[in-house]
Amino acid sequence: MDKAASEREEIPSSLFSPSPPRARELLRQAASAWLDTRRAREYLLEADRLYGDDIGVVVGCYKFHFYKGLLREALPYARRAAGIMAGRLGLPERLSEVSPEDADFSGYESGPRFYLFALKAAGYLHARLGEIPEALSVLETVRRLDSADRLEVSRLIDLIVRGGGEEE
């Protein structure tokens, strides 16, 4: 295996290292307490307090709030997931400064795709919360970075612009 291929193989493990055992345990406890939202949130808050920069914890918190219909609470986790990955990929902090040349956004590498999916999630949440200008700003950035439109963000943008409903 050549050096470049070896480095590509190492990227996913360094971008997505396993969550610490205590973080995984807190996420399991939150999942077990799913029906008791208050208790589940306590476990998630503790996981977030202790391991707030761990992607597994951030995604777990995002998914909990999203699937509970707590979209306002899910939004910061989507944004934070994108921010964590941006840092790991060496991307600029400001979304407007990220360019297609900063990473292989149209490819299938896990880090850049995760970044785009997290941004798409944030854009979708903004739209669902009625924050259309912010939604379109984030989603247009995703479209600019994903020139092949592999995440099909153009369909979501078109739906938002048309004022589409839930059934779409």
Domain ranges in the chain are: 71-164
Distance CA 75, CA 118 (A): 10
pLDDT of residue 6: 38
DSSP structure class, residue 167? T
**pLDDT (tens place) for every residue of the chain, 168 residues total:** 334 333 433 444 468 888 999 999 999 999 999 999 999 999 999 999 999 999 999 999 999 999 999 999 999 999 999 999 999 999 998 999 999 999 999 888 899 999 999 999 999 999 999 999 999 999 999 999 999 999 999 999 999 999 875 554
Report how far residue 114's alpha carbon sits from residue 23's, in angstroms, rounded to the nearest whole number.
Answer: 20
Instruction: Give the model's pLDDT for residue 8.
Output: 36
Residues 6+ apart with CB under 8 A from 114: 15, 16, 55, 81, 85
The pLDDT of residue 2: 39
Closest by Cα among 135, 149, 88 to 115 = 88
pTM, two decimals, is 0.87
SS3 151: coil
| Amino acid 108: pLDDT | 82
pLDDT for 106: 84
